[in-house]
């Protein structure tokens, strides 16, 4: 395990064990930011939290998320669904604001359990009912607002906005490029909105930013790889992978939440 000095982020992390977990975490983040895998971004904090404090992990990852968002925006800037963004983003910003002012009063571990159970339920429902053969669900502003707010709050708490976002957007059955583009634009806006709050919470120390800079090249390369994969994968395979990722993600969230509540 990393030392307490590493856990508190007092200097650039040099412990090789940290990078054993951090590099795979950043690879997953990069692939997701390229449009492939959707909610796998939220695995970044849990992986890094094996060796450092989760709060420090979130602070290290946010600059990487913002930088990779820029690549995603360049790659997918023309194919997003404007209606989805207009119906979800205002509520997402509200969820971020709520998270900033009220997260200390809400048990984050309880929220992780709920979010994980929802992820598992949604993925299993899709697989068991062969949802991929059904018609696309019609847009709905009420659902969009609810899941947008949930996504913004979850993203603020632990960069875990993927599952609630997917609960609303995946049933719309957007084509893979449009889904990827819409997701990239949505989370670029969400991550940008989180920057002031994270700064006020003191999570952008020079030491954390230095560690982010060391990991950034890995994220940039894998973001481009994610773009390449999405542009070449067929829609059926894309949705199998995207829904399938929800299962380990949901299980991890439930496990982390239960352990946290029991401790």
Nearest to 145 by CA among 77, 106, 95, 107: 95
Does position 7 have pLDDT exceeding 50, yes or no? no
User: pLDDT tier at 82 (50, 70, 90 boundaries)?
Assistant: very high
Q: State the pLDDT at residue 1.
A: 35
Q: State the pLDDT at residue 145.
A: 96
Q: Which of 40-44, 93-97, 120-124, 152-156 has the lowest mean pLDDT?
A: 40-44
- Residues 66 and 192 sit within 8 Å (Cβ to Cβ): yes
User: pLDDT tier at 147 (50, 70, 90 boundaries)?
Assistant: very high
Q: State the pLDDT at residue 144.
A: 96
Does position 35 have pLDDT exceeding 70, yes or no? no
Measure the CA–CA gap between 152 and 144, rounded to whole angstroms: 12
Nearest to 179 by CA among 120, 135, 239: 239
Tokens encoding 196:
């002031």
Nearest to 47 by CA among 65, 26, 23, 21: 21
Mean pLDDT on 229-257: 74
User: pLDDT tier at 39 (50, 70, 90 boundaries)?
Assistant: low
Mean pLDDT on 70-74: 82
**Average pLDDT, rounded, for the chain:** 80
Q: Which of 49-53, 117-121, 131-135 has the lowest mean pLDDT?
A: 131-135
Nearest to 159 by CA among 224, 256, 14, 258: 256
Compute φ and ψ for 213, nearest 5 degrees.
-65, -35
Measure the CA–CA gap between 255 and 239, rounded to whole angstroms: 25
- Residues 81 and 144 sit within 8 Å (Cβ to Cβ): no
Measure the CA–CA gap between 49 and 259, rounded to whole angstroms: 13
Tokens encoding 30:
């990069």
- For residue 109, give every residue at least 6 positions away whose Cβ sits within 8 Å of its Cβ, in sequence order, or none: 256, 257, 258, 259, 260, 261
Measure the CA–CA gap between 129 and 132, rounded to whole angstroms: 8
């Amino acid at each position: 395990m990393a030392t307490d000095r590493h856990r508190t982020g007092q200097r650039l992390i040099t412990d090789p064990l940290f990078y054993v977990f951090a590099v795979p975490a950043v690879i997953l983040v990069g692939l997701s930011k390229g449009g492939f895998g959707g909610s796998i971004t939220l695995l970044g904090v849990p992986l890094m939290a094996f060796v450092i404090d989760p709060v420090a992990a979130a602070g290290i990852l946010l600059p990487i998320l913002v930088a990779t968002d820029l690549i995603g925006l360049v790659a997918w800037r023309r194919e997003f669904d404007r209606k989805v963004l207009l119906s979800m983003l205002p509520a997402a910003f509200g969820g971020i604001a709520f998270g900033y002012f009220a997260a200390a009063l809400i048990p984050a571990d309880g929220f992780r359990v709920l979010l994980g159970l929802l992820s598992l339920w949604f993925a299993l429902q899709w697989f068991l009912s062969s949802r991929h053969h059904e018609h696309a669900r019609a847009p709905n502003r009420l659902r969009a607002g609810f899941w947008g707010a949930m996504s913004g709050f979850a993203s603020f708490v632990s960069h875990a906005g993927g599952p609630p976002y997917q609960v609303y957007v995946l049933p719309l059955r957007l084509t893979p490029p449009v889904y990827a583009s819409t997701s990239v634009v949505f989370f670029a806006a969400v991550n940008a909105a989180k920057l002031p709050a994270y700064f006020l919470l003191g999570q952008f120390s020079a030491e954390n930013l230095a560690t982010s800079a060391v990991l950034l090249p890995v994220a940039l390369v894998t973001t481009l790889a994610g773009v390449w994969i999405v542009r070449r994968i067929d829609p059926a395979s894309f949705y199998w992978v995207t829904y399938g990722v929800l299962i380990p993600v949901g299980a991890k969230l439930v496990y982390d939440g239960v352990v946290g509540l029991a401790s």
